[in-house]
Structure 1
């Protein structure tokens, strides 16, 4: 039996993308143990994990933020007696950790990012080459294979244990199951940056159009604070629209997402949370592009909703606000019509969308 340290510190979407693959690898290599090193909050993503998978927290926002704190943490890792380290992040912090462990004789493997290919994608040119890059989850697979592990080709979503479902239904009876016979649809209208976020006034119009069909029961997702206040305002006085922003812990949010027919999401963590539990996503891409390799596992390219009149996209791989080719007004966040989003969602009413 070997103990593998798997390192992925951020972001939430990247950690969520890793979870189904980690579970599949763990099931295929039951004789080994896998410890996922990530930020404390992200360990909640280990929903109903296999017996040979556990989480280990590193607080890079506080104790381990400084180099000294990171070195102290590396000393702790040395006493865990890992047999191998798989760095699936390859940033400065993870390079420090894996280098210290390698000096003590622990073999290491790390992610190889396609940096040159990414620069090609974000070139400021209307005739750029949009050949898709290798998906990030497949790059993760390569690292597991390089460590000599059995890596399944097919990556199933994380299944919700019946016990967890029953507990959720008892704690949240109002949202656990539909009583209206309508299609359960989630909407996550925000992303981590403005450049990745579909214009809020247009999203309000999407919400109105979907609600007017009287076919859907809508659940609005967002974080506490500003997002929660705006979402609660959108849901007010709408009997089939529920705000769950800031009201559920991460595991309960995943259980709710798993109960939905589909979600509307930005290129954001919510797309990967839905992918993790096998829920279809109609993803909205503003300054970013699915060709960069960050489409959720199991999602369909045809469900990616993108502006048709923004030839210089993508402006950014990760959605930062500094490199938008359309300027500070982020025109690509307004270049997709609400009617196109409605048309995509209405495919759920066809037998093919079931």
Structure 2
């Protein structure tokens, strides 16, 4: 989901510079809210369950082609599915360009020995480079890069009312303690300690825990009956409602996960806790790759691009060496630098 959201700065840049072209984005239907209010952009929201196997990909190509004709195909995914669709279009005379993911360089970063830790292009820059190869070069526009429309705000307002919050008061901290892979997550003990420290250090704050349906029980333990801790369960809100709530946060804390990337695209100050992964691989919080990352220097980092691996040391030190008080210190730093609240 984070990779999809990160396409928006590139799409906004292209739409702003080339106002005479029409863009069609093909993505999962539930990701459509990321692209609302981008000029001259249509979204084809699909259900991938309808397009299984080679024949399913052929059917998807035909469904996309019906919305044409197209002059270019821009493959920002680089998957087997997207490449096959691109070749189908090429067979019909439509040129395509595909993303260069830098897999070789990323492998050199994540191998156990003789790492090469050169900073790689951010994912957003890789997206823009695909358009550039197709003849469409454009500079990044000033954020925010996600649009929160009126309906999203209504969803958020209704949800907040349902949990007993009628209006905003004090500081609102979002906290997303989960990630797609366990190795990218802080220990539950540190997450619990952080919520306790935040309540103590910031007496006027409200904490909003972001997570999915499967994490509801863990979020209840983190809340521990505290009135100033609230649960935002994404499954019941949808992306549109969750965007509306996240847009009201003063700060977002999380792992290297979609929530941190989305908050950064909303131009909210973020604190991303990075361990297994590393922002030099191109997945730092957009436009906050320095101030928005909390990490420690270890020779074994990074050991993975996505977090789907095992800890070579066996102690998860890259995450566990980060103390909850480090998060508090970073919050105060951001307050002083940006005079945010």
Alignment TM-score > 0.5, same fold: yes
2: distance between equivalents of 1:206 and 1:73? 46
Name the structure 2 match of 1:86. 74
Q: How far 1:176 moved relative to its partner?
A: 6.7
1:197 and 2:185 aligned: yes
2: distance between equivalents of 1:209 and 1:20? 35
Q: Would you say the 8 A contact 2:155–2:240 is kept in 1?
A: no
2: distance between equivalents of 1:161 and 1:332? 38
1:350 and 2:339 aligned: no
2: distance between equivalents of 1:166 and 1:245? 16
2:237 is paired with a residue whose SS is coil
- Output aligned runs, 1:1-354, within 5 Å: 12-46=1-35, 48-60=36-48, 62-80=49-67, 81-125=69-113, 128-157=115-144, 158-161=146-149, 164-165=152-153, 168-169=156-157, 172-173=160-161, 174-175=164-165, 177-179=167-169, 182-213=170-201, 214-225=203-214, 227-246=215-234, 247-308=236-297, 310-322=298-310, 324-327=311-314, 330-350=316-336, 352-354=338-340
1:239 is paired with a residue whose SS is coil
State the TM-score, normalized to the length of structure 1.
0.87
Residues 146-189 of structure 1: per-residue CA shift (max 9 Å, x gap): 2222412335223434565356435534457423xx21110000
Query: Any stretches of 5+ residues in structure 1 without a counterpart?
Result: 1-11
CA spacing shift, 1:109–1:150, aligned 2, 3 Å: same
Q: How far 1:351 moved relative to its partner?
A: 5.8
CA spacing shift, 1:175–1:92, aligned 2, 3 Å: farther
Q: Would you say the 8 A contact 1:176–1:256 is kept in 2?
A: no
CA spacing shift, 1:192–1:175, aligned 2, 3 Å: farther
CA spacing shift, 1:312–1:171, aligned 2, 3 Å: closer
State the TM-score, normalized to the length of structure 2.
0.91
1: distance between equivalents of 2:159 and 2:320? 39
Residues 65-96 of structure 1: per-residue CA shift (max 9 Å, x gap): 31221112222333332221000111111110
1: distance between equivalents of 2:241 and 2:166? 10
Q: Would you say the 8 A contact 2:273–2:319 is kept in 1?
A: no
2: distance between equivalents of 1:97 and 1:176? 48
2: distance between equivalents of 1:119 and 1:239? 46
1: distance between equivalents of 2:92 and 2:278? 41
Q: Would you say the 8 A contact 2:10–2:140 is kept in 1?
A: no
CA RMSD of the aligned region, Å?
2.1
Q: Would you say the 8 A contact 1:287–1:319 is kept in 2?
A: yes
Q: How far 1:267 moved relative to its partner?
A: 0.6
1: distance between equivalents of 2:291 and 2:275? 16
CA spacing shift, 1:350–1:176, aligned 2, 3 Å: farther
CA spacing shift, 1:171–1:132, aligned 2, 3 Å: same
1: distance between equivalents of 2:38 and 2:140? 19
